[in-house]
């Protein structure tokens, strides 16, 4: 099987996924599933066409809303109301096994949160966070049902690609002019943040498998599209987040390895040349930018064995981690209570500083939900990884980048936002919705 940058020859889109081509001719009376869907859509009444379009439009808007204040929270709440209505009518619809899988993944993280409420420092905070988390279950229920019925993976990929390009262009404009499209200055006067703020490069790094997959899909016949990888990676670099740098390296490694495992053979010479150019551009950018070079040099402190240098390399987070470790040691079963780290910190540290979160997912789960939470977290990651490998074995191409993105979002060594905070938990469950819905759609149409 020969592969250039796009899909393997002998494969074509069948509806929304890849399936073996079927010999057809304009006169033989056959058509692909994609042609059938297009023809049906043209002759469909307006309301059914709108019903068919909303899952993709809604997912695209939800992704965009992550960069517009708290709109993503309100949008998810609306979806949750729809999911509650659908659940009350007991209409699971198509893909019920995938809904059960989504529910199982949700329970892995939610039950430990519920268990942590029992003896939390602030039961009100823990209970509120745990109750709010149910929004993701209900929103996912509605959206997965709708997408399995009406969604198209190709359109979903295109919508997400457009949002990622828009964010990249906004941040690149900020790099060139000092402000983004809306007049926002760079974070700290240096680090690119665009319209989303300092979370931008983390989200771009997490979403990078989807971005690269879109380049692979849409760039297979439009090679100049691959040039878009340069500004995308440049924005992540100038965002200055070392966690984002780590995640994007993981993204490239995992995505490339899984493509090879599925039998997709890339032009290694072209790929090596592209990566070399990206590395050269990054090296020149670092050499010309003092603050960026300083952040790279600081990484060497990780291997120094010196407490202060290590603490500088991890953005002064060692005290956060030490306190989280003590919280787990003294509350090993169900932790101190979800979102109770800030309230409990003074009891486990004597530095007189207020710290809101551990800044490490693994330690946050351990401190706030204990061994029960760590077990659920491990099961969640194992469940997602198992489903991802199942798609790889069956060569279900379209779900793979979403699964990688989900694993990156929930990566245990993520040291930026709180895993239980509104933004990060919403991003994780947005990706879980996309991953499971796309996987279900592929199973249905192949």
Asked if pLDDT for residue 35 goes beyond 70, the answer is no
% of residues, the chain, pLDDT over 70 = 86
Question: How confident is the model at residue 91, as a pLDDT?
Answer: 59
What is the rounded CA–CA span in Å between residue 32 and residue 14? Answer: 6
Asked whether the predicted pLDDT for residue 397 surpasses 60, the reply is yes
Phi, psi at residue 369, to the nearest 5°? Answer: -130, 5
d(CA 223, CA 9): 17
Q: Contact 171/180 with Cβ under 8 angstroms?
A: yes
What integer pLDDT is reported at residue 299 of this predicted model?
87
Give the helix/strand (H/E) hosting 79.
helix 71-88
Contact 234, 285 (CB under 8 A): yes
Q: Residue 45 — very low, low, confident or very high, per pLDDT cuts 50/70/90? A: low
In this prediction, residues 357-383 reach a mean pLDDT of: 97
**433 closest CA partner among 160, 161, 24:** 160
Q: What is the pLDDT of residue 353?
A: 79
User: Domain residues of the chain, as ranges?
Assistant: 51-150+318-446, 160-312
Q: Identify whether the C-beta of residue 216 lies closer than 8 Å to the C-beta of residue 271.
A: no
Residue 436: which of 234, 137, 36 has the closest Cα? Answer: 137
If you average pLDDT over every residue of the chain, what do you get?
A: 86
pLDDT of residue 6: 40
Is 50 exceeded by the pLDDT of residue 9?
A: no
Reported as a single tens digit per residue, the pLDDT across 92-114 is: 554 488 889 999 999 999 999 99
Percentages of the chain per state (helix, strand, coil), in multiples of 5: 70, 5, 30
pLDDT tens, position by position, 405-439 = 999 999 999 998 999 999 999 999 999 999 999 99
The two tokens of residue 39 are 């023809």
Which pLDDT does position 12 carry in this prediction?
A: 37
Phi, psi (degrees; rounded to nearest 5) at 189: 75, 0
pTM above 0.85? yes
pLDDT in tens, 233-288: 999 999 999 999 999 999 999 998 999 899 887 666 767 777 787 788 888 888 88
């Amino acid at each position: 099987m020969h592969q250039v940058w796009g899909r393997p020859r002998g494969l074509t889109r069948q509806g929304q996924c890849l399936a073996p081509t079927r010999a057809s001719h304009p006169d033989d009376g056959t058509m692909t599933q994609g042609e059938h869907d297009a023809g049906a859509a043209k002759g469909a009444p307006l309301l059914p066409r709108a019903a068919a379009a909303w899952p993709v439009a809604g997912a695209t808007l939800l992704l965009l809303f992550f960069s517009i204040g708290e709109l993503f929270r309100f949008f998810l709440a609306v979806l949750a109301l729809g999911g509650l209505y659908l659940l009350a009518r007991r209409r699971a619809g198509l893909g019920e096994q995938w809904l059960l899988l989504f529910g199982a993944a949700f329970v892995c993280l939610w039950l430990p949160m519920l268990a942590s409420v029992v003896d939390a420092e602030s039961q009100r905070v823990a209970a509120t966070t745990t109750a709010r988390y149910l929004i993701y279950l209900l929103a996912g229920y509605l959206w997965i049902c709708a997408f399995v019925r009406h969604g198209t993976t190709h359109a979903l990929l295109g919508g997400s690609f457009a949002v990622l390009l828009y964010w990249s262009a906004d941040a690149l404009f900020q790099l060139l002019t000092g402000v983004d499209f809306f007049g926002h200055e760079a974070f700290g006067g240096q680090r690119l943040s665009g319209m989303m703020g300092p979370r931008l490069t983390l989200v771009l790094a997490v979403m990078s498998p989807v971005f690269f997959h879109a380049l692979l899909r849409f760039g297979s016949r439009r090679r100049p599209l691959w040039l878009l990888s340069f500004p995308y990676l440049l924005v992540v670099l100038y965002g200055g987040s070392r966690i984002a740098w780590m995640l994007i390296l993981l993204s490239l490694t995992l995505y490339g390895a899984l493509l090879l495992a599925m039998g997709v053979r890339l032009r290694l010479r072209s790929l090596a040349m592209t990566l070399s150019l990206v590395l050269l551009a990054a090296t020149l950018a670092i050499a010309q930018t003092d603050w960026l070079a300083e952040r790279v040099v600081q990484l060497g402190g990780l291997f120094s064995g010196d407490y202060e240098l290590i603490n500088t390399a991890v953005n002064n987070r060692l005290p956060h981690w030490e306190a989280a470790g003590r919280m787990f040691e003294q509350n090993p079963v169900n932790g101190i209570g979800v979102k109770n780290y800030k309230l409990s910190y003074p009891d486990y540290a004597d530095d007189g500083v207020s710290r809101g979160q551990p800044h490490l997912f693994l330690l946050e789960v351990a401190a706030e939900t204990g061994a029960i939470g760590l077990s659920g977290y491990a099961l969640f990651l194992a469940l997602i990884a198992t489903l991802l490998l199942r798609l790889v074995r069956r060569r279900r191409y379209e779900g793979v980048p979403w699964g990688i993105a989900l694993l990156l979002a929930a990566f245990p060594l993520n040291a930026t936002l709180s895993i239980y905070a509104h933004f990060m938990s919403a991003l994780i469950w947005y990706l879980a919705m996309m991953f499971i819905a796309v996987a279900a759609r592929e199973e249905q149409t192949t």
